[in-house]
Structure 1
Amino acid sequence: MESYEEKFNVLNHCDTFAILNRWGNIDSGGNQIQGIYNRDTRFINHLHLLLNGMPLDLLSSSITEENETLSTDLSNPGFTSLNGIKVAAASLHIHRSQFLKDEVFHEKLDIQNYLDHPCSVKLSLVIKGDFADIFEVRGVKRKARGRLMPLTKSEDGQLVISYEGLDHIRRKAIIYFSQPFEADLAHQLLHFPLDLAAKGLGQLEYAIHFEQTGRASQPKIAYGTAKDELIPRLKHKNAYFPIIETSNEQFTHWLNRSQADLVSLMAETPYGKYPYAGVPWYNTAFGRDGIITAWQTLWLAPQLSKEVLLFLAAHQAEQEDKASDAEPGKILHEMRNGEMVALNELPFKKYYGTIDATPLFIMLAGAYYQRTGDLSTMKQLWPHIEAALNWIDNYGDFDGDGFVEYQHKAERGLTNQGWKDSFDAISHADGTLAKSPIALCEVQGYVYAAKKSASYIAYDLGKTAVAQKLKKSALDLRKKFNEQFWIEEKQCFALALDGDKKPCMINTSNAGHALFTGIAYEHLASKLVKTLLHPDLFAGWGIRTLAANEARYNPMSYHNGSIWPHDVALIASGFAKYGFVVEAARLTTALFDASLFIPLQRLPELFCGFERRQGEGPTAYPVACSPQAWSVSSVFLLLQSLLGLEIIPDKKVIRFNKPYLPSFLSWIKLSGIQVDSLRINLEVLRHKSNEHVSIYWNNQPKDWKMEVSME
């Protein structure tokens, strides 16, 4: 089964994305995912290019390496031109160049005549809009919709497709063309006659602006000007990251593609950049996704973590609201635009139904502080960290048993509120679903790490008593967790405790997060690593969300047997923290191998958990988001896990703990890693005779030193 990404091409820029077929068209028949979307609304659901009324023949199409442009090459079928001359097939070359910038879709068409005589042709575009809410596209049925307005052509030659929503917002697609056209408005068909000289070139440019009541319109701008402005912006975003080169060109390409994908998802906000979760379903701010994406890139791009923290602090809940699952101090789950959330048909306009984003927020704050020593930002964030800690103790642990659990309150909110949030994700060994309130395995680890992180920050802010209390609370939780969650007969931590405090005794990938957070006792780590790498969980491409011998296992399910790259990367990080770096390299190799079979080496949100088959790639999950931020950024956490790299600014130390390079990597060069206000360059070499590595400075900063531990 093909994923949508294998059939279509994806362009995205901040709040706008396009899913086009390989011809650069959008087909309203068949797969309903195609279209051009802006702020959770599909404005355009049909876009078709014709030549003399006929479809064109596809030569090739591809997304450029910087991820900004879809380049499509087409040729003509045989036809008779408007001036009566027979034209053989493949006499004309049509090149489509399409990209997005600032909520505008741009296209440039170049038509090259290779005949030695003139040729008159008629290009035609069919453009239609349906203004479907993103949740409608996902399959949610509505009782009523607004009114789609008739297509109009203005006096100055622009085309307007508009929709009057039930929320009283007028949404418009305004299309500007570079030359006059003939319009058949009844059929939404536009004609552009072109007289091509012998060996001559014809061109057409147009731009689709997405506008709605109450939002400022984007100024009209030509294709070339917009393209010239886009490249510097991409370079600015790319400047967040150092340059990474390796001995393996395919691994280097995976790194570069992942960075380009992540950059394409980084939206501008008043607080800096925020990585949107993923295209198509989650092209907006998600708390958990943004935090984990920032965490995975923290060692390389600390500024992104800072801006994620500031954004989430600004949107932290301040009061109780059952309709949105909000409580004071809670961190955002997701924000949405669109007609359905405006009308409260769904609760996701600003929704807080997540159990883990709040402790993860504190974890990221602590990790950012350890990475940068930025005490001024910690002073700014401390009131928000305190509010999050209060939420953990007063709302998260609402039955006072020492564990943080969830029970949804919003009538139309999420039933399960961990990262595995599908309705059937939390079950017992016999397959029965766990009843709430539910205390998830990984969440207890997040809370443990959050309180440890907050204690370090509190000490440095002079809040000694608070720091000591947090440290003790973290240690108490660790003891209680290992005593009550460890299932000796399963050699694994229980997935969760249900509302009766009965453990969900099944083997899942969640247990690996206990290594990532450090809550697992050291003597249990080797047992857990062995369990996670058992063929029931390790499928060859990564670790399944649910073991193959469990009752609800289905490799094609969303959370009960599939493989999620970000999940695998977090587990690999946990392996390395407990000293199992060779095992971490095994997971890295698995995902790298998977990337080689996936278009553009772009790891999707998830893929199916079937066992690896010789000579075949992983089986696609057909509606997985791609690109998705925490999936494409997983490679950076995997690389950090291999290197065991820590940057400790207060001691002016760069530390490598058991660095290890798998056989497919002979060397890695890191250029431009930020330490204090400096940029440093490092080189890691694997010895040919054994698995040991050597590490060299290329520009050692003053007063900094390197520590390398091979034990």
Structure 2
Amino acid sequence: MDYLVIKDEDLFLLTDVLGNISPESEKGLYTHDTRVLDTYVMTLNEKPLSLLHSSCEKGYISTIHLTNKEEVNDGAVKVRQESLEIKREQIVQKGVFYERVTLFNYARETLPVNIGLSFGSSFTDLFEARGVVRPARGRDLEPVWENGFVRLGYEGLDGVVRRIEVRCDAATKTEAGKFEISGVLTPDQPLVIDIAVRAMVGDEAGLTRSFSEALYALEHAHAEWLNNCMQVTTDNEVFNAMVERGLVDLRVLLTDLGYGSFPVAGIPWFAVPFGRDSIIASLQLLPFNPAIGKGTLRTLAHLQGHEVNAWRAEQPGKILHEMRRGEMANMKEVPYQRYYGSIDGTPLFLILAVEYFRLTNDLAFIEEILPNLKRAIAWLDEYADVDGDGFTEYHVEGSNGLSVQSWKDSYDSMIHVDGQLAESPMAVVEVQGYVYHAKMGLAELLPRLGEDELAARLGAEAEALKQHFNEVFWMPEKEYFALALDKDKKQVQITTSDPGHCLWSGIVDEEKVQPLVDCLMSDGLFSGWGVRTVSSEEAVYSPISYHNGSVWSHDNSLVLMGLAKQGAEEAVNRLSEALLKASLQFDYQRLPELFCGHDDSLGSIVRYPVACIPQAWAAGTPLVIAQAILGVDVDVARKVVRLSPTWPDFVNRIEVKHMPVENTVVSFAIDKREGLQLLESNGYNVELKQTEGIPQPL
């Protein structure tokens, strides 16, 4: 990565690899979709520093090692290059950005040093920082400064006052936009400088503490997170690191708006509630930490649509797509203050509720959100089927918002084989699977709440949808499902990854499962690194396209969930091995949002230039691999955990500790040769599918 990014709650810091923020770039300190710090540059003796090494592996701290350039005065070397080491440690915690700078002298003589720190803010909206030109802006407030302290402020057109307070107690000179710290540096005594930048938006403001206190709080919170999650370890340390990476990144991406923690979509540009992304990440995380699913459901229930509003694509009962809190959103310069332009967020919301209950048996919570579930069902009834053909469609009129409202939301993702763009109303293949999954799950769940009539109706509708879907979306000549139906009910016949999601939902007829699996794992779709969004055999394929030939991590995770659900063991193993291999191509083994779709014969992955890293549903992908190779099925009613492991070549033993089931946990180990060892049952039975050569436990 050519940048460093760290986050805590609603505050994230994006710097270059030196730890600096240049005003000419998109980098900065962001909160509430506002860049509250757009200049932050450190110099030594008025010269820039040189990079030794930098890392943001932990997600909440950037550690940067720098050194000095040579200084010459009147032809004589005053300070030799690489005589000094400057260590920068940057963290964000509870609304405050902290930096500790430590200078080490290796020159064996005392040297005078002058650290300069230039800083500033235009308080630009995130969309403005990314290039949108605004017709008007608010007013800058007069800066306030005294020794070691500066306050900058801005009053937006929305009436919200945004401020930062920058503090450096070691400063020997203070100006409105710069601190200077002068002193002498001896070889045996490092110089330590602490800086704090407090962000304030309206009445919201962080509480400044010491760097050490803030770092301790972060370390404790992240350690507690890992301890509270299900732990999966294998005899493959590389895979173990991949799973832990996913958990670490998901912790970084958690935010709480007051209704429980949920994952935002990704940083740097989507650190906000995102219905589809937040739900899918919560589903990926569910067996590891179901509390996040609960927080996601509560948050999205609170933000559920309640009126018809074409500007923000809102309808009663519809689940939020994206929420922004910046000045441009508040002023309706963009429609994203509360934007509902996704077709799949609502059925996915229902699926998350169903799957959360299946794992936890938390009927009290489901009863709490039952009115929201009913409103979401009513949305499916009243708004989702635009043309009355029995399928769920999106249709966009006007230019605001997204023109394509399924997960592949590029303008050109719904494209016919001849390159002509398909027009809405658009019934997208995986969305029909989501609706089926939701209705079948609710048909099982709702009788527990006395909603027998509604449950029966939804079950019947699901069965009718399955029959209709398999008739209308199937392409006999390709033995595969079409991507979508366009406004004329014409199949969009390009071969894509999307039907793989339908294996997970269960909407695919039994006789169509194997042809679907074969196509997903064919050379056209399977690159060796993962399943492509569009087959390389299609004329519209481009390996460098955002949605028409790239490989998306989360897309592969949903395909993998489907393969595992259908018992396609060989395909599960191949895809798991490919994704593990792909993870080794990226810093910290962190799978990105997407990468280019070139074949693995190149020997290395071609990176997509603007992929979000970390991104929630990409971070959740390693967790899905663990679930898929375990073949976990939890039956809370019968108090049974069933395991159907697939054993890819990279693993021979898997140990699971503290798997959450209902209101307790189970722990066990399975070995490819020795079978099952039960470590902690708490009233549950753990059953291992009988496989040749694998004994059942006594």
Report the TM-score, using the length of structure 1 for normalisation: 0.94
Deviations 1:303-324 (A, max 9, x none): 1111111111111112211111
Map 1:13-92 → 2, pairs under 5 A: 13-29=8-24, 32-64=25-57, 66-79=58-71, 86-92=78-84
Secondary structure of the corresponding residue to residue 490 of structure 1: coil
The answer to whether the 8 Å contact 2:640/2:685 transfers is: yes
Contact 2:360–2:663 at 8 Å: present in 1 too?
A: no
Partner of 1:267: 255
> For each residue in 1:575-600, what CA deviation from the matched residue of structure 2 results, as whole angstroms up to 9, or x when unmatched?
11112022012111111101001111
User: Is 1:632 equivalent to 2:581 in the alignment?
Assistant: no
From 667, 675, 686, the equivalent of 1:694 is 675
Match of 1:7, SS state, is: coil
1:653 deviates by 0.1
Deviations 1:451-479 (A, max 9, x none): 00111111222222222111111000000
What residue in structure 1 maps to residue 246 of structure 2?
258
Question: Does structure 1 retain, via aligned residues, the 8 Å contact 2:5–2:59?
Answer: no
Q: Which amino acid aligns with 2:591?
A: L
Q: Give the percent of matched residue pairs that are identical in Structure 1 and Structure 2.
A: 37
**1:205 aligned onto 2:176:** no
Of 651, 655, 661, the match for 2:647? 661
How far apart in 1 are the matches of 2:262 and 2:3?
26
Contact 1:115 1:199 in 2 (8 A): no
Counterpart CA distance in 1 for 2:73 and 2:679 is 64
Task: Using the TM superposition, give the Cα deviation of residue 170 of structure 1 relative to its aligned residue in structure 2, in angstroms.
Answer: 2.5
Aligned to 1:407: 395
**Residues of 2 paired with 1:407 and 1:137: CA distance?**
30
Superposed, 1:172-183 pairs within 5 Å as 172-183=163-174
SS in 2 for 1:262: helix
In the alignment, is the contact (CA less than 8 A) between 1:595 and 1:603 conserved in 2? yes
Looking at structure 2, the residues matched to 180 and 20 of structure 1 have their Cα atoms a distance apart, in angstroms, of 22
* SS of residue in 1 equivalent to 2:391: coil
Q: Which amino acid aligns with 2:180?
A: H
1:106 alignment partner in structure 2: 98
**2:320 and 2:213 mapped to 1: Cα distance?**
37
- 1: CA distance, partners of 2:50 / 2:686: 60
- Alignment partners' CA distance in 1, 2:611 and 2:458: 39
1:571 is matched with which residue?
559
Does the aligned pair in 2 maintain the 1:299–1:647 contact within 8 Å? no
Instruction: Give runs of aligned pairs for residues 563-602 of structure 1, distance below 5 A.
Output: 563-602=551-590
Aligned length in residues = 691
Q: Gaps (5+ residues) in structure 1?
A: 1-5, 688-692
Do the aligned partners of residues 499 and 85 (structure 1) sit closer, same or farther apart at CA in structure 2, a change above 3 Å counting?
A: closer
Q: Give the letter for the 1:55 counterpart.
A: P
CA distance, structure 1, for counterparts of residue 288 and residue 35 of structure 2:
35
Cα shift at 1:156: 5.6
Q: CA RMSD in A?
A: 1.9
- 5+ residue gaps, structure 2, are 693-698
1:672 matches 2:672 = no
Matched, 1:296 2:284: yes
Whether the 8 Å CA contact 1:43–1:173 is kept in 2: the answer is yes
CA drift at 1:81: 9.6
- Contact 1:605–1:626 at 8 Å: present in 2 too? yes
Tell me the amino acid that sits aligned with residue 413 of structure 1: G
> Could you tell me which residue of structure 1 aligns to residue 150 of structure 2?
159
Q: Is the 8 A contact 1:356 1:446 kept in 2?
A: yes
In the alignment, the residues of structure 1 paired with residue 103 and residue 400 of structure 2 have an alpha-carbon distance, to the nearest angstrom, of: 51
Q: Is the 8 A contact 1:81 1:87 kept in 2?
A: no
Q: Residue 3 of structure 1 corresponds to which residue in structure 2?
A: none
Deviation at 1:204, TM superposition (A): 0.8
**Within 5 Å, which residues of 2 pair with 1:412-491?**
412-491=400-479
State which drifts further: 237-246 or 312-321: 237-246
The aligned counterpart of 2:159 is 168
C-alpha deviation, 1:631, in angstroms = 0.4
Q: CA deviation at 1:411?
A: 4.3
SS for the counterpart of 2:498 is helix
The aligned runs of 1:496-575 (5 Å cut-off) are 496-575=484-563
Structure 2 match to 1:310: 298
Change (3 A) 1:501 1:710: farther
AA matched with 1:281: W
Query: What is the TM-score when the length of structure 2 is the normalising length?
Result: 0.95
Q: Distance in 2 between matches of 1:412 and 1:12?
A: 30
**CA displacement at 1:240 relative to structure 2:** 3.7
1:374 maps to amino acid = D
Residue 249 of structure 1: CA displacement? Answer: 1.3
Structure 1 residue 20 displacement after superposition = 1.6
CA contact (8 A) 2:525 2:536 kept: yes
Change (3 A) 1:703 1:425: closer
* Cα distance between partner residues in 2 of 1:698 and 1:452: 34
Q: CA deviation at 1:709?
A: 4.9
**Distance across 1 between alignment mates of 2:635 and 2:319:** 28
Alignment of 1:268-347 (within 5 A): 268-347=256-335
**Residues 257-280 of structure 1: CA deviation (Å, up to 9, x unaligned):** 111111000112322101010011
